Structure 1
Amino acid sequence: MKNNANRTLISGGTVVTPTREIENGTVVFSDGKIVSVEAESHDSPDIDATGKYVLPGLVDLHGDDIERHLFPRAGERVNTTVALDRCDIANASAGVTTKYHAIAFEDIPDDNRSIELARRLAEHIRDFNYETGARIDNRLHMRCELTNETAVDAVSQEIQSGGDLVSLVSHIPGTGQFAGENTLTQRYNLPDGVSESSLQSLETRRNGVSDIELISRAREITELASDRNIPVASHDDETVSSVDNAAAIGVDISEYPLSHRVAQRATELNLSVAMGAPNVVRGGSLWDGPDASQAIRDGVVDILCSDFRPQSLLSSVFTETGDSLKDRVLRVSTVPAAAAGLYDRGRLECGARADVIVVDPDPVPSIARTYVAGDEVYCSA
């Protein structure tokens, strides 16, 4: 397959770099790094990408899909090692080469989310790398429920143990995506066996934390993360003032802002704005949030995340949003990598890490091959 032991040459496809789209281009990588991006094809490549697209590996800053592998149906719990391995395979086959597993540090009246489970998952993710069988770069995104002091303490400890991204979450009934009646049951998909008193207790606890205390906890987490060069996101920003507060304490990313105006304000404050790729592919939000495609057209979206469906990242690249293919690729590769402080990847340029995907557009865009640091980790054939 290769011209020599360490060199791979992919040629003939449409190569998408951060600055242009190259028809019949060539990408060459060796020893885990890209050594050449050329505006011409070669006659005898290792991989003939004719009729296909050659893109940088996708970078997903927020993916909850590990939960689907752990709990595939009500009452079933899969072994953590097995679930993480299956999730790893699924992401490699979706073209995701750097994955931030969004782990919820919160306690709810159900076994699917708890602080103890989050701790165990964090430990497994930190230990799941190339040497232990991982195909892609698996990283830890700690979702810190600020209304829970125990969660704040746990995330503080995880930051010191080695995390990769933190998001500040305040899931308070009656606000944001938890507005309206019966939203705790709807949003958490709680089983019928959960008592009304358990939900009421959760609601009381979350409503019982003052705004001053929430801001204090947010500042504590942000400062601790900043000391270790870990980026911080604010999650579900509901108002302009909430974004202002987030920027004031040093937050880097506004993740899933709940209105167009809030996204616009985050952009004005030079925060990176992240929305859901499923929103783009579906043509709208499931929870009455802003239309991500319209927000893209208005210039207030920098990053798309998979949320719960890793395949949506690739699909978003081939969903018309009124801009170029190059720009659609940037939102799922170069820009999220930079927002996370990973400047070694997310782009097809000389010297970058050889995270490369080959995409077959027919009958629907799908991954033909995935390379991570120059190693082929997935092949559809």
Structure 2
Amino acid sequence: MRTHLLSNARIITPVADFTGSVVIENGRIADITKNRNYPEGEDLGGLWLVPGGIDIHSDYLEREIHPRPGAQFPMPMAFHFTDQRAAACGLTTVLSAVSFSDDHNLNRNFDGAIEQAKEMDQLRKTALVRHCVHARLNPNTDTVLDYLDRMREIESLKLVVYNDAVPGQRQFSFEDLVVRRAKSLNITGDEARRRLQQQVDELSKVNRRPEIQAALAGFCPLGSHDDTTPAHVEEAHHFGATLSEMPTTLAAARRAKELGMLVCMGAPNYVRGGSHCGNLSCAEAMAENLVDILCSDYHFPTMLTAVLMMIHRGISPARAINYVSLHPARLLGLDGVTGSIEVGKEADLVAFKAHTSHAEVIRVWVQGVNKYHVAARGIPDPAAVKPTHSPWG
């Protein structure tokens, strides 16, 4: 039996936080003790000890592959550095977004998505942390019908999200897209408008959500991205979605909660104090108890930083950490295995030092195995969570 003792840590469970110790046996949490230190154990020196972050939507891998338009790097290289960065940011499970769509303007196609997902299936076997696929699936094309069976062959597929492709219907208005498209393709506004209207006319005729639901609803959870109106939410729910991912309005978020769906918002939105593109503020939605999950979206470090910000603002540590661990685990059906510091669960743990502006991850364990270890810069500062002068306001 492999036994490892972690002592003198500030532990956050799903319901409380306290100083104590965690006993790990054969990769699982065997015991949690309050106000007890084991002399023979590993002294964490008062570091916070939390469950590993579970990130259900990350664009990081895609940005490592394509950091600039026209610049592409090999998948193994991009995956390696995504994996390292995830561990350094306290994430033990990451769902990387892969776009299953035919969009020649963005150089995306279904064959490329299948190839990328299959490559992830292989690369993740030797990774530091767990990596899975978040499929951003375009329901507005008949092409999707040819790939549903192949998607079921992807071992790491853990979430499928309807990513409606009709221009101007969701996050960005039609006119906003005209400006963006004209600039990105170096064409006139009239030409961009003509092309976009052609897309609207063609894509609006196709809705393959029924077939997607029939093929994948029993395979992994379904969700919907950038819901803007209650009608968007209702359509997604009708076709099996249990998640509304980054709704762009309060009306959409409220309707999702009324229908019993989970709502996910971006941690960068919370940390920055609002959406980078002017959509719904995460903090505003949280004020109405409309948010269940935070994801990294495009910035890994904001996951734990958001937790510290919430604690600073008076939210209990237990409630704060659940947004990035237990709640996403529940969505994925993993909460019986991981997502919280509880006896019997896998020891996916993160020890970090709290700074006034961020979390400094010192140790990461996945199934009780130490996957990441750096030297701490000084001793933990208890005042860091509630600084006299906070940059967070």
- After TM superposition, the score normalised by the length of structure 2 is 0.87
Residues 150, 188 of structure 1: alpha-carbon distance in 2 compared, 3 angstrom cutoff: farther
Amino acid at match of 1:219: P
Question: Matched residues in 1 for 2:193 and 2:41: separation?
Answer: 58
Amino acid at match of 1:373: Q
Match of 1:379 in 2: 373
Match of 1:74 in 2: 69
Match 2:168 to one of 155, 174, 179: 174
1:305 aligned onto 2:295: yes
Shift, 1:262, TM fit = 1.3
Runs of 5+ consecutive residues of structure 1 not aligned to the other structure: none
Question: Matched residues in 1 for 2:100 and 2:198: separation?
Answer: 18
- Listed as ranges, the matches of 1:1-381 within 5 Å are 6-22=2-18, 24-44=19-39, 46-110=41-105, 113-130=108-125, 133-151=126-144, 153-162=146-155, 163-183=157-177, 186=180, 190=184, 192=186, 200-201=194-195, 204-210=198-204, 213-214=206-207, 217-228=208-219, 230-320=220-310, 322-343=314-335, 344-362=337-355, 364-381=358-375
Question: Is the contact between residue 21 and residue 34 of structure 2 (CA under 8 Å) also seen in structure 1?
Answer: yes
Question: Is the contact between residue 55 and residue 91 of structure 2 (CA under 8 Å) also seen in structure 1?
Answer: yes
Query: Which digits, 9 at most, give the CA deviation of each residue in 1:10-39, with x for residues without a partner?
Result: 1212100011111x2111212111111111
Question: Matched residues in 1 for 2:43 and 2:65: separation?
Answer: 38
Match of 2:391 in 1: none
Query: Which digits, 9 at most, give the CA deviation of each residue in 1:259-284, with x for residues without a partner?
Result: 11211111111101111110000000
Question: Is the contact between residue 182 and residue 192 of structure 2 (CA under 8 Å) also seen in structure 1?
Answer: no
Question: Matched residues in 1 for 2:168 and 2:28: separation?
Answer: 50
Amino acid at match of 1:123: K
Question: Matched residues in 1 for 2:100 and 2:230: separation?
Answer: 26
Shift, 1:113, TM fit = 3.2
Q: Secondary structure at the match of 1:327?
A: helix
Query: Which digits, 9 at most, give the CA deviation of each residue in 1:24-68, with x for residues without a partner?
Result: 211121211111111123142543222320000000011111011
Q: Give the % identical residues.
A: 29
Amino acid at match of 2:319: D
Question: Matched residues in 2 for 1:358 and 1:191: separation?
Answer: 46
Question: Matched residues in 1 for 2:111 and 2:193: separation?
Answer: 19
Q: Secondary structure at the match of 1:319?
A: helix
Question: Is the contact between residue 2 and residue 25 of structure 2 (CA under 8 Å) also seen in structure 1?
Answer: yes
Question: Matched residues in 2 for 1:189 and 1:93: separation?
Answer: 36
Question: Matched residues in 2 for 1:120 and 1:207: separation?
Answer: 30
Residues 223, 305 of structure 1: alpha-carbon distance in 2 compared, 3 angstrom cutoff: same
Q: Secondary structure at the match of 1:176?
A: coil
Question: Matched residues in 1 for 2:24 and 2:109: separation?
Answer: 43
Question: Matched residues in 2 for 1:317 and 1:263: separation?
Answer: 21
Question: Matched residues in 1 for 2:40 and 2:141: separation?
Answer: 55
- After TM superposition, the score normalised by the length of structure 1 is 0.90
Quick check: 304-313 or 141-150, which moved more? Answer: 141-150
Shift, 1:109, TM fit = 3.5
Query: Which digits, 9 at most, give the CA deviation of each residue in 1:265-304, with x for residues without a partner?
Result: 1111110111111000000011222111121121100001
Amino acid at match of 2:203: V
- Aligned-residue Cα RMSD (Å) equals 2.4
Q: Secondary structure at the match of 1:91?
A: helix
Shift, 1:182, TM fit = 4.1
Residues 147, 190 of structure 1: alpha-carbon distance in 2 compared, 3 angstrom cutoff: farther
Amino acid at match of 2:226: D
Question: Is the contact between residue 363 and residue 370 of structure 2 (CA under 8 Å) also seen in structure 1?
Answer: yes
Question: Is the contact between residue 47 and residue 353 of structure 2 (CA under 8 Å) also seen in structure 1?
Answer: yes
Residues 172, 30 of structure 1: alpha-carbon distance in 2 compared, 3 angstrom cutoff: same
